[in-house]
Structure 1
């Protein structure tokens, strides 16, 4: 949810709102988990700090560009109408300068203090979200969040690359989990914000195919997600602690999706959306704890 601001709010406060700090925090959290999973022990502190800062800065720059490109759409939506770009309390030039400075700083930090691979992967993610998803996919196809979800799913691979200077299959499996998680997460929001997206002229799934169709696909994706989240155990990337957590968390998610499918309400859609955020956080935390348990067993 966008933080409300007043036209006379300080410039720094307006800049902060444009970077979508809550969304950025979740992305950076997943990247940090990727860093820990890439290391048999604790990742080097310098890499951990530098990569976190660099990825955070580039994510913030991408969100600012997204707000700039969509300022007219945001102005027509209740959820986003108070963004400074939508209200006109900040100029396009100021946003471009913000994104250039913040994004440039992030690239420098990643290149010089982490490794070039992480910088280029993070920059590609920036392009994928800020330009390809925002300009090409979002206004043209109801599958925008499915196709464009790849850029939002990249943080674990970025974190893994920061520590290992490589992106093995295990890292891409984490990307796949977020990629499949994104549609049911976002469509739950789109259901109770359907009028917003209709007024904005965006072809979100509830607008183009109706709420019943969207609810069915949320349910199908949660089943698919449960299957995919078992794969880390199948390939011996994780153990029984993670497996039990994935099954329990996934069953709860399916429960929300099934209730949503059978008897829709805006309140239930909101609860499903909120749970989806908690679900991803707990799932990745379980991966980390399980990783430490396995490493402790190897060390012992």
Structure 2
């Protein structure tokens, strides 16, 4: 590996995993708007978004630092800036620390201390506990570590209300349950690479058929959990309809993966659908929040 000298802005941005951060920020921003009946204060939305986005980017940078050895081996990640020698370890660590400090500092100064503390723990949970330990220690890595990735809706909620309420916990639970079937679909597609670098992903340790079954079971649980916001009166029929339709699509892919193991394209199709699923579900949450439709309006 060559020694990096002058990384470009694009190299640093690639370390931040902007596509992942964008999905994270969608769930966080929806959490902000869901936390109050009307519109939340725009200054809190702006500074909360900046702080959470920078902290998430910092966690992504440290993920690159810790995983640079296996990233150099796996086909999916070998073109990242660090394996390519465009950014060295020292440069990445300095960049990650600066971005993280600015992000947490923004939350402390302009938002509230609770959000800053929770965001810091989410950063540590992903960058240290998951990436440095869980990922290499147990096939349940993505289940346990998924708590850090599911935190953004809570962070968005607390940025506005300075409290953790039932609604925030429900949004957290949706992302938490969504994470294993989402990531295991990718892990099935890349199971040979994970085996090569000794990362005990579920398809490697327990086999692909077992992982397909787990994806289906988690998807069933996910569909049930996504109906709870409607059952407790948090959302209306717009959301319920969307959740059932989107959940039906996810179940279709999960069942097809179990029934058609010979179809090598299904895991990545399921992975792709899972991303669109979460994005669409949270957008529908937002639409329903401001344009609610309840049964008592129809009678």
Q: By the TM > 0.5 criterion, same fold?
A: yes
**Cα distance, 1:266 vs structure 2:** 2.5
What residue ranges of structure 1 are gaps of 5+ in the alignment?
Answer: 1-6
The structure 2 residue matched to 1:144, chosen from 141, 146, 157, is 141
**Cα distance, 1:8 vs structure 2:** 9.1
Alignment partner of 1:230: what SS? helix
The structure 2 residue matched to 1:168, chosen from 144, 165, 169, is 165
**C-alpha distance in 1 between matches for 2:86 and 2:33:** 40
Aligned-residue CA RMSD (Å):
1.5
Q: Is the 8 A contact 1:41 1:295 kept in 2?
A: no
**Cα distance, 1:11 vs structure 2:** 2.2
Tell me if 1:198 matches 2:195. yes
What residue ranges of structure 2 are gaps of 5+ in the alignment?
Answer: 295-299
**Cα distance, 1:73 vs structure 2:** 1.1
**C-alpha distance in 2 between matches for 1:72 and 1:193:** 17
| Structure 1 residues 192-231: aligned runs within 5 Å | 192-231=189-228
**Cα distance, 1:12 vs structure 2:** 1.4
Q: Is the 8 A contact 2:27 2:282 kept in 1?
A: yes
Q: Is the 8 A contact 2:35 2:161 kept in 1?
A: yes
**C-alpha distance in 1 between matches for 2:170 and 2:36:** 16
**Cα distance, 1:87 vs structure 2:** 2.5
**C-alpha distance in 1 between matches for 2:170 and 2:265:** 32
**Cα distance, 1:294 vs structure 2:** 3.4
Tell me if 1:278 matches 2:279. no
Tell me if 1:291 matches 2:289. yes
Q: Determine the structure 2 residue equivalent to 1:106.
A: 103
Using a 3 Å threshold, how does the CA distance of structure 1 residues 252 and 12 change in structure 2: closer, same or farther? same
CA shift digits 1:149-170 (9 cap, x unpaired): 0000000000000000111011
**C-alpha distance in 2 between matches for 1:10 and 1:145:** 31
**C-alpha distance in 1 between matches for 2:6 and 2:253:** 39
Q: Is the 8 A contact 1:152 1:179 kept in 2?
A: yes
Aligned length: 290
Q: Is the 8 A contact 1:222 1:257 kept in 2?
A: yes
Q: Determine the structure 2 residue equivalent to 1:181.
A: 178
**C-alpha distance in 1 between matches for 2:290 and 2:54:** 28
Q: Determine the structure 2 residue equivalent to 1:267.
A: 265
**Cα distance, 1:82 vs structure 2:** 1.2
The structure 1 residue matched to 2:16, chosen from 16, 19, 27, is 19
Using a 3 Å threshold, how does the CA distance of structure 1 residues 250 and 177 change in structure 2: closer, same or farther? same
Over 6 Å off, 4+ runs:
none
